Structure 1
Amino acid sequence: MILVIKKTSAVTAFICRANGVQMKDIAAHTGIGLTTVCNIIKTLVNIGWVQKKENKYFAGPEILSLTAPHFRFAALSFTAGQYVKKLAKELNEGAVLACIRGYELFNIHKFIPDNEIVVNPIKRGLGSIYTNATGRILLAYMTPEEISEIIRHCGEPSEFWTEINNYEHLKNELAKIKKNGYCLRRSENSLTAGLAVPVFSSDGSPWAALGIFLPASRLIKNNHQFVIKTLQKYSSIISQEIKYQE
C-alpha cells in the first residue's frame, strides 16, 4: 500500500509540475512501468485529480482546489503589500489585508502610519472572524454551507457579535453587508472602528478583505463614504494585479 501511495504521489507531482505531459514521459521521468502509470492515471482522472486533453495530462480541478488557498495567499503576499502601505499613507490610518485560512482570520499585510493614536488590529493568525470588519465582509460572501462550517468550528457568532442572537439575525446582517459592498464595525464602547471591502479575483470570488482601523472619532470627523471609496479604489487595484498571478 505504501509503495502504491509513493508511486501515485510521484505521478501526481510530475503531472502538476509539467502540466501538459504524455503518459510515456510520465513513465520515463518517474521510472514507473507504463502499465502501472496507466492504471494510476485512470484512477486520478476518475477522482478529478488529473484531466486529459489531446493525449496530454494536466492537473485536474480537484487537486487545484486543494492548492488554491495556498496559491491565493502567496499571490496576495507577493503583490498587495505596496498598496496596503499606500492606502494607509493616503488615509493616515492603519490598514490591513486579511484572508480566512481554515477557520481563522490571517493578516497578510498590515501597515500603521505615524499617528498619535492608532488602533492595533488582530495579530496575524489570531482573533475571531466575527469580531473584525475584514472577517465579517468575507463571511458575507460565503455560502450557507461554508458559514455553517465556520460556526461549527468557531462557535456561535452571538458570543462575539452582540447584535446577533440567532442564525436568522446573522443571515440578515450578512445580506446587508453584501448588498452594501462594505462592512463598518464599531467596538462595543464605540471608541474604535473598522471598515473593510472585499478583494475579488477574476472569477468574482473574494480572495481577501482590505480594511482600515482607526479611532471612531476620526471616522466621524471624516466623510466615511470617502474612506469607503478609497478602500474600493485600492481593492480594485489589488484585484487587477492578482489577475496577472492567476
Structure 2
Amino acid sequence: MKLNRTTQRTVEILKLISRTSEGATLDDLCEKLGLPKTSAYDIVTTLAEMGMVNVTRGQKQKFTIGLMAYRIGVNYTNNLDFIGIIEPVLKAFSKEVGKTVFFGIPSDHHVVYICKFEPENPIITTATVGSKNPMYCTSLGKVILAYSSEEAREQMINRLKFIQFTERTIKNRGQLLEELKKVRERGYAFDAREMEEHMQCVGAPVFDRDGNVLGAISISSLYKPSDDYEALGQLVSRKGMEVSRLLGFLGKI
C-alpha cells in the first residue's frame, strides 16, 4: 500500500514534538526528520492553526503539543474498554467512602481527569472530566510520577514549572524527588492542600497487566484536622490494587 508522504511527515512531526521536553524548533524538525524546511514549515504552521501544536515565540519559535491533540487523546482514552471495567467499582467506592473519587492518566507533565464519581451529597471540586492539573501538586500526579519508569519520570519532571498555588505547594525538583521516595515507601500520595487551601486528596496507582502504571485513583474531600488521612491512603491503595487486578495485573510492586 502506498502511503501519503505528507501525512507520514505530519505524524512524524507530531511524534517528535511530543517527545521533546522543551519544545522543538523548525531546525530541530528538519534536522532530525530529514525534511526540507519549506515542507516542515507548511506542516507545522497548519498544525498550529488547527490547535494540534502550540507555538512559543522567542529567538526561535518552539512547538509543543497542543490542546486539540490532547482532546483527541482523551476521546481515545474514553473509548477504551478498561473504562467500562473500572467505572462500577469506583462509583461504588465513592458511595462507600462518601467522597469524590477521580481516575486520571498522564498527559505530558500533567494529569488528566478521565472519570469522576460523586457521593449523594458531593462537595464542589474544581476538577472536571477532561481538565488537567500539574503532576507535582496532585495526589494523582505524584503516584504516576513515583511509579513511572525512570526515563518517563525524568522526561515529565524536566518539563515541570513549579508554580506556588498555596504555601504548601512543592517548590522545586529536590522537594519533589524527596516526596516521590515517600510515595513509593507507603504506596499512596497526598495533595496536602497544595492545589487548593481547603482540599485534601489521597491517591494511589493503577497498573496494567504488564505492571506499568496506567493511571491513578484518588479521594478528594474538604480538609478536616480530625480525619485520619493515613488510613484513607491505605484504603485507596487497596482499591487501586483491586482495580489493577481487574485489568489483569498479577504481580507485586
RMSD in angstroms over aligned alpha carbons? 3.1
Aligned pairs for 1:128-147 within 5 A: 128-147=134-153
1:5 match: 3
Q: Which has the higher helix share?
A: 1
The partner residue of 1:239 within 241, 244, 248 is 244
1:94 match: 100
Q: Relative to 1, partners in 2 of residues 1:175 and 1:72: Cα closer, same or farther, differing over 3 Å?
A: farther
CA apart distance, 1:230: 2.5
CA apart distance, 1:125: 3.1
1:229 match: 234
Amino acid at match of 1:5: L
Amino acid at match of 2:145: L
1:127 & 1:111 partners in 2: Cα distance?
A: 18
Q: Deviations over 1:179-229 (max 9, x none)?
A: 111011222574210000111223222111110100111xx4333343223
Q: Relative to 1, partners in 2 of residues 1:206 and 1:160: Cα closer, same or farther, differing over 3 Å?
A: farther
CA apart distance, 1:235: 1.5
1:71 & 1:109 partners in 2: Cα distance?
A: 11
Q: Secondary structure of 1:184's match?
A: strand
Uncovered stretches (5+) of structure 2, i.e. residues with no partner: 8-72
Aligned pairs for 1:41-52 within 5 A: none
1:109 & 1:181 partners in 2: Cα distance?
A: 21
Q: Deviations over 1:4-43 (max 9, x none)?
A: 4269x9xxxxxxxxxxxxxxxxxxxxxxxxxxxxxxxxxx
The partner residue of 2:217 within 202, 210, 216 is 210
Amino acid at match of 2:244: S
Q: Relative to 1, partners in 2 of residues 1:119 and 1:126: Cα closer, same or farther, differing over 3 Å?
A: same
CA apart distance, 1:83: 1.2
Uncovered stretches (5+) of structure 1, i.e. residues with no partner: 10-66
2:80 & 2:187 partners in 1: Cα distance?
A: 25
1:86 & 1:242 partners in 2: Cα distance?
A: 17
Q: Secondary structure of 1:114's match?
A: coil
Amino acid at match of 2:231: F
2:117 match: 111
2:100 & 2:79 partners in 1: Cα distance?
A: 21
Aligned length: 178
Q: Is the 8 A contact 2:139 2:203 kept in 1?
A: yes
Amino acid at match of 2:229: H
Q: Secondary structure of 2:112's match?
A: strand
2:222 & 2:114 partners in 1: Cα distance?
A: 22
2:219 & 2:157 partners in 1: Cα distance?
A: 25
Computing the radius of gyration over CA atoms, which structure comes out larger, 1 or 2? 1
Q: Relative to 1, partners in 2 of residues 1:121 and 1:229: Cα closer, same or farther, differing over 3 Å?
A: farther
CA apart distance, 1:73: 7.2
Q: Does the alignment pair 1:195 with 2:193? A: no
Q: Deviations over 1:122-180 (max 9, x none)?
A: 22232222231111111112344323322444x32355585544323222221111211
2:242 & 2:83 partners in 1: Cα distance?
A: 15
TM-score, length of structure 1 as denominator length: 0.61
2:126 & 2:212 partners in 1: Cα distance?
A: 24
Q: Secondary structure of 2:3's match?
A: helix
The partner residue of 2:186 within 157, 180, 186 is 180
